[in-house]
Structure 1
């Protein structure tokens, strides 16, 4: 389908190789009915359950509204009143959305999919004659055989389609040709209704967004009911749907079009409308309302004037730039450069809109040009060297061969390639002779005696040193050397005692400046955490083009944030998780390799970013084992840093809901709370048996006194270091499913799992009393730790990843 280069239509998965049938209808409607660009808005949605706070960007709140037309509310209360001034609603999907937004009974209603018969005449597929089709939800991962068995249908037609018009129309043809459509993908049912084909809602494993189904059902004047299989579906259609279904007229919505309407598309819709009227009678419609037609013409003129004014503004700015001092240098620029590029090398506004989406993601034409054929020749080079370009999501992928850029000025000279690492200086300090270098950027200097994340960070330093690398470590939050507190200063000194070089403001005024000046020194850059190391990805890519970048997720931050928001019912945190997800997945796509700590996260990313180079690297720990036996141990413990909010929530949950149940059976038991940064409100608790240990520098002796540990986490992500540390010391752990996820550990791996507070308490009591069970858990946990989480295992895994990047690990020191 033809797509406008300037389209600011928004929908889920836009630009991705795999599309969702329902959302991708947006592109078809634009190609046949609308011109896809509108001035002075943040974007336009014309399909989907997207009327929600999460789809109202900050830009929309500063005079650039986001426009909704024919869309629906995701859930009641989803689009808060605070966001109403930042949106423009021209039409809605159904009466529930209209009621939720207080639009009144006369608001145009109907899903734009109902316009398809006016714009596309399907082909009849003979091979589907007399057959029923099942259209599962986009996220339904069951294979076809399982779906056919569950639904009773003859054929499975999936809504997961390629990013092209034929893939879209193939699904429409299948729906039109089938004898019956049974769908848990809502727009499969709506397209069937539009073409007058029998259909029913399929009750699959889960019903996503119940509000949208209720909304569209009221729009169609049918009950919102789901069926289990094809036989029930046929009866339900004949007795319930067919007698009552009534499609809403889309003409009122079209007269409130959010975009300029194509003349050809308008003629198609009017012709189809007249045919429908001939079949159903001649009752008055919106076309008989002279005022409505006048308003439509006025609105279309206003949209056209807005685009025209934007073009005039762009042309005026270009003329002003041409009159700036030094314009004689224009004679040295090509005609293309003078017309399309500003003097600073950035493209003119119109060109930016042709090449990039509003969110900064390059359009397909530009991705093809840059990524597949290499970087284009001047005048693009100057702009593609700039931070503005490299800060755009997905803006830069290093070609397989070095790009033909002019070298960026650096500490080694403006235009000559730097010498070998052993000959370079770094802020007056020589790089160790003959050593290859890795740069690690993380949040803080690691404090392995205070939190599990720091233990992981220091272990990566040790792993790279074992592999023969000289390690440079940048702590984003500790870069200002004079601002370090006592703990951070001690952590820095401890890091330096390992042989790593701690880079701070004595090397450069900022981390960005350090990378610009010295980035090419490093053959490997290890960026930890999306909002810390991940912040510097674009700068590293720009100034260290030969370096391989490994993105260390630590845990998937967006998963943790989303779970926290869902647990608290906090929409702001859920919105924050969506923004984090976008950045985190972009880093995973763009990095040369990304690492996660659990197989659960690996499986999730295989679905979220298929084909991305993601590797599982399990948490690495020393495994000291145990000395004391069952009888010598008495206490139950929790270990964790309390600045990490999932730990604090888990402890409070345990003390409030689980510990009282444990005390009924074990009245003399003690619960030891260990870990740094314990808040005062927690220390003020007076629960029976509660003992505050606080920060423990060496956990070995502390673990020897514990019979069990607990990990009662209710949200979080990744592998939990507290569980691994406990098992490495031979202490069984009672976990929630969140705490246990991704480690493939159960009773044969040293842990017991329960989420219900009563069941959790029963497992604590059982493991505390049963010596035989305790011994089995302790032994199996130690065995698993030595097999999977030892330091040597971590070194071998990282060597494999580095070799996969085309780098031969340097010889060990």
Structure 2
């Protein structure tokens, strides 16, 4: 008797994963590794170009297949592949390819990896822009941080981005959510069924060696992909307000800023005389994080949870951040560093952790406890597999219960299908020669 074939998974990526450039890339790799541990057969496809720091998926035994937007060649590809599970990496991929998957592989489980709620991040970005325009106070942003869920809903509800993103969530059979706060926002304010959402945070293996001690570290560090708008805004706030405050107390302090895809506008901020060093991309983020004494993450807007902060915890490096940076990351656990609402509070806590060995060591211990309680791959990996298998077994009932999703698929997919077919037909027609 032949053995049953391995579960076939198709991942449709917004980009090719870059785990050393972004938390989203790291989370995708953690999901892929979880699937590989099950012996699942994985194909990763994307319409994006190849990034500078992309992972080598083929070395892991994952097939890489480029695909095109608005091209019926995908129909043949997905029909022949016949996947059991299709994972859309961010809602834009569900918009583009969801109707094609449903048409040609109707029994495939459709899963959305949200990464974070982009509509939430965008709404917070617009609030920050309005606040900066209305006031020249660059110190106190308390009114922006951690508003009530109802306030978040009010800012998001009328935006096209929220309507598109939440419609895509409804159309899928399961949605992977990295943030518990975003789960509560969707359930309590947007009235999504909790059964459609699965908490899947960053998943890491706990370090098996002691972190670098206080005496062997030096300087401050900030790290983050410059293509991610919250990171660029954080660098600007550091440069113009926070770092000068830190240097008032520590005149010899040095700040090393690392980030993938460093633009000229960031390089222009480099000033060795001020101890402000823009270092470009870090080949090994954990290595530079382990050498730093304190990590700075002054995020004035954003969503999801922060890979740079999990990396800091893995290295035993205390982090000073804002309520946005700490959101959904520590539950009832103590924060391994400091959470601050003003630039002055941020600078004071950064100086304290840089100079006070006892406080620094306590923050390091809190980081180790937090990792063990919330981020272990050995907990979240099996939970993800169990949830996917449950959804496969009960797929018909899940879809029957999700009438709103069925209705949205009926209308959205028709309009998307016709638009895609129109674009494809237009692309085939040669331009008229004049």
1:748 to 334, 338, 344: 334
Cα distance in 2 for partners of 1:785, 1:610 equals: 29
Tell me the SS of whatever aligns to 1:444. Answer: coil
Matched, 1:518 2:81: no
5 Å-filtered alignment, 1:476-515, equals 476-478=47-49, 484=50, 487=52, 491=54, 494-505=56-67, 512-515=72-75
Cα distance in 2 for partners of 1:690, 1:754 equals: 21
Aligned to 1:652: 236
Cα distance in 2 for partners of 1:467, 1:780 equals: 32
Q: TM-score, normalised by structure 2?
A: 0.78
Aligned to 2:388: 802
Matched, 1:609 2:191: yes
Cα offset, 1:600, TM superposition: 0.6
Cα distance in 1 for partners of 2:57, 2:105 equals: 25
Cα offset, 1:622, TM superposition: 3.8
Cα offset, 1:602, TM superposition: 0.8
2:257 to 673, 685, 696: 673
2:363 to 770, 777, 789: 777
Cα distance in 2 for partners of 1:621, 1:782 equals: 12
Tell me the SS of whatever aligns to 1:796. Answer: helix
Aligned to 1:3: none
Q: Which runs of 4+ in 1 moved over 6 A?
A: 508-511, 574-577
Cα distance in 1 for partners of 2:180, 2:228 equals: 22
5 Å-filtered alignment, 1:184-223, equals none
Count of equivalent residues: 365
Aligned to 2:309: 723
Cα distance in 1 for partners of 2:255, 2:301 equals: 21
CA contact (8 A) 1:561 1:576 kept: no
Cα offset, 1:777, TM superposition: 0.9
5 Å-filtered alignment, 1:254-653, equals 434-478=5-49, 484=50, 487=52, 491=54, 494-505=56-67, 512-519=72-79, 521-569=82-130, 578-607=159-188, 608-612=190-194, 613-624=196-207, 626-653=210-237
Q: Aligned in 2, Cα 1:744/1:704: closer, same or farther, shift over 3 Å?
A: closer
Cα offset, 1:779, TM superposition: 1.4
Cα distance in 2 for partners of 1:503, 1:577 equals: 37
Cα offset, 1:576, TM superposition: 11
Cα distance in 2 for partners of 1:661, 1:723 equals: 22
CA deviation vs aligned residue, 1:746-770 (integer Å, no higher than 9, x gap): 8724131012111111111111111
Cα distance in 2 for partners of 1:671, 1:631 equals: 17
Aligned to 1:682: 266
Q: TM-score, normalised by structure 1?
A: 0.43
Cα offset, 1:799, TM superposition: 1.6
Tell me the SS of whatever aligns to 1:793. Answer: helix
Cα offset, 1:540, TM superposition: 1.4
Tell me the SS of whatever aligns to 1:805. Answer: helix
Cα offset, 1:509, TM superposition: 8.9
CA contact (8 A) 1:737 1:753 kept: yes
Whose RCO is larger (CA < 8 A, sep 6+)? 2
Matched, 1:712 2:298: yes
Q: Aligned in 2, Cα 1:663/1:577: closer, same or farther, shift over 3 Å?
A: farther
Cα offset, 1:667, TM superposition: 1.2
Cα offset, 1:527, TM superposition: 0.7
Cα distance in 2 for partners of 1:590, 1:695 equals: 37
RMSD: 2.6
Matched, 1:693 2:279: yes
Cα distance in 2 for partners of 1:453, 1:710 equals: 20
Cα distance in 2 for partners of 1:743, 1:495 equals: 29
Cα distance in 1 for partners of 2:241, 2:106 equals: 53
Tell me the SS of whatever aligns to 2:234. Answer: helix
CA deviation vs aligned residue, 1:288-308 (integer Å, no higher than 9, x gap): xxxxxxxxxxxxxxxxxxxxx
Give unpaired runs (5+ residues) of structure 1: 1-421, 423-431, 479-483, 809-813
CA contact (8 A) 2:269 2:278 kept: no
Q: Aligned in 2, Cα 1:647/1:748: closer, same or farther, shift over 3 Å?
A: same
CA contact (8 A) 1:733 1:751 kept: yes
CA deviation vs aligned residue, 1:108-158 (integer Å, no higher than 9, x gap): xxxxxxxxxxxxxxxxxxxxxxxxxxxxxxxxxxxxxxxxxxxxxxxxxxx
